[in-house]
Amino acid sequence: MIDIALFVLTLVSALGSGLIAGVFFAFSAFVMRALARLPASQGIAAMQAINIAVINPVFMSVFLGTAVACAGLAAISMFTWHRPGAVWLILGGLLYLVGTFGVTIMFNVPRNNEMAAIDPAKLEAAGKWATYVSSWTAWNHVRTVAAFAAAALLSVGLYLQY
């Protein structure tokens, strides 16, 4: 029974990490580029709308659920480190927690909160928008790579365990 639970937890963690990597990749690859091409007032308004829309049960369940699954998986794997693949599961779980969830909380969310307070019609908004696009996207690259790498590490751990 514990093997089935560990398998499911590992699979959920790997799939969730991959799904989040895909969402963040889309922002790095084309969404932010498209928004940056708009006049600043329109780009700001669009990003403000995105930052409101992203707080929904579907996205938050995957994003936070993956964090919980990875934390649980890393903790369990620390106690079962002798099993094949346990080190990969620990590394993958921690990478998602620090490199994806942690970066989001520490770097992307504060920038989103600053963006929410900007009036797109104000003259100084254009300068703030340019800075936001650059810094937010850089941190988004970090969390994209971390989520993708976590999915890969968790997949290797899953393969080695079964």
CA distance 162 to 151: 16
Read off the pLDDT of residues 9-22 as tens digits, 9 standing for 90 and up: 999 999 999 999 99
Mean pLDDT of 67-81: 95
Cα 161 to Cα 123, 154, 157, distances in angstroms = 57, 10, 6
Note the helical H segments in 27-83.
Answer: 32-37, 40-53, 57-79
- pLDDT band for position 1 (cuts 50, 70, 90): low
Would you state the pLDDT for residue 28?
97
Residue-wise pLDDT tens digits, 80-130: 988 999 999 999 999 999 999 999 999 999 999 999 999 999 999 999 999
Q: Which residue in 161, 98, 111 sits closest to 138, CA to CA? A: 111
Mean pLDDT of 70-82: 94
pLDDT given at position 35? 98
Please tell me the distance from the alpha carbon of residue 128 to that of residue 125, in angstroms, as a whole number.
5
- Segment 28-52 shows an average pLDDT of 98
Among residues 34, 21, 149, 38, the alpha carbon closest in space to that of 94 is found at 149
What residue spans define the domains of the chain?
A: 2-161
- What's the pTM value of the predicted model, to 2 decimals? 0.95
- Percentages helix, strand, coil for the chain, rounded to the nearest 5? 85, 0, 15
